Chains A and B, each alone.
Chain A
Amino acid sequence: MASELNKLTIADASSKLRGREITATQLTRDCLDRIAAAEPRLHAFITVCEREALEQARAADARLAAGNAPALCGIPLGIKDIYATRGIRTTCGSRILETFVPPFDATVIERLRADGAIFVGKTNMDEFAMGSSTENSAFGPTMNPHDIGRVAGGSSGGSAAAVAAYECLGALGTDTGGSIREPASFCGVVGIKPTYSRVSRYGVVAYASSLDQVGPFARSVRDAAIIIRTLAGKDARDSTCSARPVPDYERALTGDVKGLRIGVPREFFVEGMQPEVEKSVRSALKNYESLGASTVEISLPHTGYAIAAYYLVATAEASANLARYDGIRFGLRVNAEDNIALYETTRAHGFGAEVKRRIMLGTFALSAGYYDAYYLKAQKVRTLIRNDFERAFEKCDLIVTPVAPTTAFKIGEKMNEPLTMYLSDIFTISLNLAGLPGMSIPCGHDSNNLPIGMQLIAPPFAEETILRAGDAFERTGAFKPRTPAV
């Protein structure tokens, strides 16, 4: 039996590594062994980087031996296959990039490398991050570690499943409409979408530029705090990235939520949602009250328009962002008699159905004569949604909601009903439209033993509030996540 170092939290592993109790090589080996055992049932990874990971582990061990290594030195992470990784294939879940090996690293990959983190592999995802179940991956779906007949959520399903199933200690995802929070909820792990502009997007394959944000998965709030400290901060290569100083997020984890005002928006407890989801979130709110926080009902009146606005803004931006996959400079090329035919056949072969659907939606929304009615109007809705939150945050410091209306659904269940699938993101999407930080943290299980996630939302750049509240909830021990079945 392996030593199962892969089950450690990042905080624990980090102190054992620095205390020379364990080596990065042992830790990485355990993760790779676990990957070898679990992958046939999970398919959380598109590419496993065994050789590179062990090399990184050796380098980390040398650095740990020298002393003064950063917290993430020697920590094995999974990287969503949306991040450009120099020399390692980056597919974005698509046939069109199946063989694409970037000549550069994303900024956050560079920062993780600089800290000595180890990349065990590139995780599975919905093609170009378009989806809520990872079923849109060109390389097949990822199974939920708690029930392999169910989805892991999406689009960052591979990262969520890998962390839940102990294939790595933490992972990177991206969140455009809920792509970190929903799979975190479905897989029973912590997932954070920081404030838009808090983390550089350079080298993150773009889906919807004004909504995409980088964030971590982990098995504890503290671990997530450790990762985002390395990710966050100004980047000269991303003009939309904030120059605000990055706080030491771990120091925010005081366990003290006395006096914290928690807003509970009535629009987020809707008819048709799974009763166990509401029950778990309401019970967590009781826990907060017992810790000295207060709850107040609030209203976010434009919530109902969020999905419509999102699918106009996101698809419009995507239609331009994905125009570069033309078969000319990199990726798949299907030759044809002239340029236009080359684009058509390359894109017809290279993109999956959902990607094509969204490119067409976005192209239509931007077309001459429709721009004002669709794109411009959606941007106005966005402003209204942002104003809703601003007003709400006059009455509270934190908003608590469910992450998704249901727990993980069955594989194939929603594949033929794109609109039902889009509703999986009904509670997460408005944060992306407003640019707010949000976290999914496990708060219960349903009768099928499937994890339920609670969403914590704060004003822009108030990640510390979210982390402190999440950590305080974990400390109560009111809910202990179960070990997944796989």
Chain B
Amino acid sequence: MNREAYEAVIGLEVHTHLLTRSKLFCGCSTTFGAGPNENVCPVCMGMPGVLPVLNRRAVELAIRTGLAAHCAIAPYSIFDRKSYFYPDLPKGYQISQYETPICKGGYIDLPATENGEPRRIRLTRIHIEEDAGKNIHGENASLVDFNRSGVPLIEIVSEPDLRSAEDAGAYLRQLRAILRYVDASDGKMEEGSFRCDCNVSIRKRGAKEYGVRSEIKNLNSFRFVEDAIDYEVGRQIEIVEGGGKVAQETLLWDPARKETRPMRSKEYANDYRYFPEPDLPPLIVPAEMEEKVRASMPELPADRKTRYVRELGLTEYEADVLIADRDVADYFEATLPALKNRKSAANWVMTEVLRVARDSGESFVEAVPPAAEVGALLRMVEGQKISLNAAKTAFAAMVKSGKGAEATIAALGLAQVSDESAIAAACDKVLAAEPEKVAEYRAGRDKLFGFFVGAVMKAMGGKANPKVINDILRAKLTG
């Protein structure tokens, strides 16, 4: 199979929960982890006679996301009813936006990679809609939990600008970073707050027209998106290479068997019968409101990256690693006050701190010591009060104990001795004990210098400042 002769054409539809306290159309809590049907009321249960009232915070978060992705914010949009029957859909329709999404156009820039230039992925639209409940299938009965029913979602639809599974992964990570920067999402994709549909087709490299696409529905992790696209692209190439034609179909990803399979037509063949939701007035976003939201926007990942490179002197790669997660970037910046060496702080966060976060399994913020304490630790390295190795030992201890930098250094006795008289005394002792070696050194055996340094360090219990030892020894031996 000649995979290289083809390129994939991929568009993603990403659904993600908006980080609001209450649901999209009622006052129920959106907290994850409540008991079944605890966060419900007549409105989100679709009882007879109830009416939706739009959550303004959800609208604001959708606008923030749109502004971060360079979308045009629609001054006028409406909500529509999307009708289908499913036990977890209480009203028999979902309130969504069909022809008039709140955000139109826009793009997301992907950073450069080892094997690729930076890329711009265009967006088609972003719209607001409500989530459904959750079916739970038992042995003798199916149950429905409506806690999730009515939780606000945005759907972010990309143009078919992605060309590979890696592209899709990079796009999703960039999108997650943006959502977290604007507080639209907590980025906890594992709690069902992320779902993705992928439209995949292939064409001969260099061809202009699109091939027939299949749609892989309901992928709920970045990993599945990448695996499913990889598999599907291979499958389509095999069909075409074998002289066949790709069918336009809707597929599901089976993560256990690592393959896509067609959905039964019953599972998706719907005429959704969209029409404007008569219970909600049009959603008007006046220019002043858009400006107000714009003024409240945080620094976005791309701007932050530029600042790190230009003002802090980091490399593009370092900047990319740090900005990928808003918490990490914020953490890095919180270590900086009173530090001269920004680069070493960046390195420290990228290696030591991120490793601890990765290994802990907890969220970044929960796993790592306070940034100010790491800053204090690095300041001691800069001031030569401790060695780099001592700092690493101390950091590991701080992660376990939760204690501060100063206290840890003191408790472990890691402070470096720079007191010249103490070091000079130790030097004198060593030189006095080794008269032959001193003679050899003075006769030209330069290599012995290391031996003297080691001996002095040993005499000082390993805590002496090596630079001071060097200076004093050299003066004494040449003097």
Binding site for B on A (CB under 8 A): 82-84, 90, 92, 97, 100, 102-104, 106, 201-206, 208-210, 236-240, 316-317, 319-320, 322-324, 326, 328-330, 339-340, 343, 363, 366-368, 371, 375
Identify which of B48, B91, B273 contacts A102 (C-beta below 8 A).
Answer: B48
CB of B114 within 8 Å of the partner chain: no
Contacts of B83 in A (CB 8 A): 319-320, 323, 366
Within B81-115, the residues touching A (CB, 8 Å) are 81, 83, 85-87, 90-93
The answer for the CA separation of A322 and B91 in the assembled complex, in Å, is 8
The reply to whether B50 and A202 contact each other, CB–CB distance below 8 Å, is yes
CB of B275 within 8 Å of the partner chain: yes
The reply to whether B278 and A210 contact each other, CB–CB distance below 8 Å, is yes
The reply to whether A328 and B144 contact each other, CB–CB distance below 8 Å, is yes
> Most chain-B CB neighbours within 10 Å: which of A92, A324, A330, A343?
A324
The answer for the CA separation of A387 and B64 in the assembled complex, in Å, is 39
The answer for the CA separation of A104 and B85 in the assembled complex, in Å, is 25
Q: Write 6 A-B pairs (CB below 8 A) sorted by A numbering.
A: A102-B48, A316-B275, A319-B83, A320-B81, A324-B92, A329-B46
Identify which of B51, B81, B273, B279 contacts A363 (C-beta below 8 A).
Answer: B273
The reply to whether B85 and A239 contact each other, CB–CB distance below 8 Å, is no
The reply to whether B48 and A236 contact each other, CB–CB distance below 8 Å, is no
The reply to whether B54 and A239 contact each other, CB–CB distance below 8 Å, is yes
Binding site for A on B (CB under 8 A): 42, 45-54, 81, 83, 85-87, 90-93, 142, 144, 266, 271, 273-275, 278-281
Contacts of A317 in B (CB 8 A): 275, 278
The answer for the CA separation of A324 and B47 in the assembled complex, in Å, is 8
Nearest 6 pairs of A and B residues by beta carbon:
A323-B92, A366-B273, A209-B278, A210-B278, A205-B48, A203-B49
Identify which of B48, B87, B279 contacts A209 (C-beta below 8 A).
Answer: B279
The reply to whether A238 and B51 contact each other, CB–CB distance below 8 Å, is yes
Chain B minimum-CB-distance residue to A327: B87
The reply to whether A328 and B48 contact each other, CB–CB distance below 8 Å, is no
The reply to whether A104 and B92 contact each other, CB–CB distance below 8 Å, is no
The reply to whether A367 and B49 contact each other, CB–CB distance below 8 Å, is no
**A479: shortest Cβ distance to chain B, in Å?**
37
The answer for the CA separation of A328 and B271 in the assembled complex, in Å, is 22
Contacts of A375 in B (CB 8 A): 275
The answer for the CA separation of A368 and B52 in the assembled complex, in Å, is 26
Identify which of B42, B49, B274, B280 contacts A204 (C-beta below 8 A).
Answer: B49
Chain B minimum-CB-distance residue to A106: B49
Chain B minimum-CB-distance residue to A339: B87
**A30: shortest Cβ distance to chain B, in Å?**
31
The reply to whether A330 and B49 contact each other, CB–CB distance below 8 Å, is no
Question: Could you tell me the dominant secondary structure of chain A's interface residues?
Answer: loop
> Most chain-B CB neighbours within 10 Å: which of A210, A236, A329, A367?
A329
The answer for the CA separation of A208 and B278 in the assembled complex, in Å, is 9
The reply to whether A202 and B281 contact each other, CB–CB distance below 8 Å, is no
The reply to whether B92 and A330 contact each other, CB–CB distance below 8 Å, is no
The reply to whether B279 and A239 contact each other, CB–CB distance below 8 Å, is yes
The reply to whether A366 and B275 contact each other, CB–CB distance below 8 Å, is yes
Contacts of A326 in B (CB 8 A): 85, 87, 92
The reply to whether B91 and A323 contact each other, CB–CB distance below 8 Å, is yes
**A259: shortest Cβ distance to chain B, in Å?**
36
Contacts of B86 in A (CB 8 A): 339
The answer for the CA separation of A280 and B11 in the assembled complex, in Å, is 68
The reply to whether B45 and A329 contact each other, CB–CB distance below 8 Å, is yes
The answer for the CA separation of A30 and B142 in the assembled complex, in Å, is 51
Q: Assess A97 versus B48: contact at CB under 8 Å? Given A317-B278, A323-B83, A323-B85.
A: yes
Q: Assess A367 versus B46: contact at CB under 8 Å? Given A239-B281, A320-B81.
A: no
**A467: shortest Cβ distance to chain B, in Å?**
27
Q: Assess A324 versus B49: contact at CB under 8 Å? Given A367-B271, A371-B275.
A: no
Chain B minimum-CB-distance residue to A104: B42
The answer for the CA separation of A340 and B93 in the assembled complex, in Å, is 15
Contacts of A320 in B (CB 8 A): 81, 83, 91-93, 273, 275
Chain A minimum-CB-distance residue to B25: A239
Chain A minimum-CB-distance residue to B82: A320
Identify which of A239, A240, A367 contacts B273 (C-beta below 8 A).
Answer: A367
The reply to whether B52 and A239 contact each other, CB–CB distance below 8 Å, is yes
Contacts of B92 in A (CB 8 A): 320, 322-324, 326
Identify which of A202, A236, A340 contacts B49 (C-beta below 8 A).
Answer: A202
The answer for the CA separation of A419 and B470 in the assembled complex, in Å, is 107
**B3: shortest Cβ distance to chain A, in Å?**
38
The answer for the CA separation of A329 and B40 in the assembled complex, in Å, is 12
The answer for the CA separation of A201 and B279 in the assembled complex, in Å, is 9
The reply to whether A328 and B87 contact each other, CB–CB distance below 8 Å, is yes
Besides A320-B93, A340-B266, A371-B273, 15 new A-B residue pairs in contact (Cβ under 8 A), listed by A number: A106-B49, A202-B50, A203-B50, A204-B49, A205-B49, A209-B279, A239-B51, A239-B54, A324-B47, A324-B48, A326-B85, A328-B87, A329-B47, A329-B144, A366-B274
The answer for the CA separation of A236 and B56 in the assembled complex, in Å, is 13
The reply to whether A368 and B271 contact each other, CB–CB distance below 8 Å, is yes
Identify which of A83, A100, A201, A329 contacts B90 (C-beta below 8 A).
Answer: A329
The answer for the CA separation of A319 and B49 in the assembled complex, in Å, is 15
Contacts of A106 in B (CB 8 A): 49
Contacts of A92 in B (CB 8 A): 48
Chain B minimum-CB-distance residue to A96: B48
The reply to whether B90 and A324 contact each other, CB–CB distance below 8 Å, is yes
Contacts of A366 in B (CB 8 A): 83, 273-275
Chain B minimum-CB-distance residue to A362: B273
The reply to whether A343 and B85 contact each other, CB–CB distance below 8 Å, is yes
Q: Assess A240 versus B48: contact at CB under 8 Å? Given A320-B273, A366-B275.
A: no
Contacts of B93 in A (CB 8 A): 320, 323
Contacts of A90 in B (CB 8 A): 48
**A76: shortest Cβ distance to chain B, in Å?**
23
The answer for the CA separation of A320 and B87 in the assembled complex, in Å, is 15
The answer for the CA separation of A367 and B83 in the assembled complex, in Å, is 11
Chain A minimum-CB-distance residue to B142: A339
The reply to whether A104 and B47 contact each other, CB–CB distance below 8 Å, is yes
**B82: shortest Cβ distance to chain A, in Å?**
9
The answer for the CA separation of A339 and B54 in the assembled complex, in Å, is 30
**B86: shortest Cβ distance to chain A, in Å?**
8
Identify which of A236, A340, A367 contacts B53 (C-beta below 8 A).
Answer: A236
Contacts of A328 in B (CB 8 A): 87, 90, 144
Chain B minimum-CB-distance residue to A366: B273
**B279: shortest Cβ distance to chain A, in Å?**
5
Contacts of A206 in B (CB 8 A): 48-49, 279
Chain B minimum-CB-distance residue to A363: B273
> Most chain-B CB neighbours within 10 Å: which of A203, A316, A323?
A323
Contacts of A201 in B (CB 8 A): 49, 51
**A80: shortest Cβ distance to chain B, in Å?**
12
The reply to whether A319 and B273 contact each other, CB–CB distance below 8 Å, is yes
The reply to whether B51 and A237 contact each other, CB–CB distance below 8 Å, is yes
The answer for the CA separation of A104 and B43 in the assembled complex, in Å, is 11
The answer for the CA separation of A237 and B279 in the assembled complex, in Å, is 11
**A303: shortest Cβ distance to chain B, in Å?**
23
Q: Assess A102 versus B47: contact at CB under 8 Å? Given A324-B92, A328-B144.
A: yes
The answer for the CA separation of A206 and B52 in the assembled complex, in Å, is 13
The answer for the CA separation of A375 and B92 in the assembled complex, in Å, is 19
Chain A minimum-CB-distance residue to B91: A324
Q: Assess A100 versus B87: contact at CB under 8 Å? Given A210-B278, A363-B273.
A: no
Contacts of A240 in B (CB 8 A): 51, 278-281
Chain B minimum-CB-distance residue to A200: B51
Chain A minimum-CB-distance residue to B81: A320
Chain A minimum-CB-distance residue to B280: A239
Contacts of A371 in B (CB 8 A): 273-275
The answer for the CA separation of A324 and B146 in the assembled complex, in Å, is 14
**B24: shortest Cβ distance to chain A, in Å?**
12
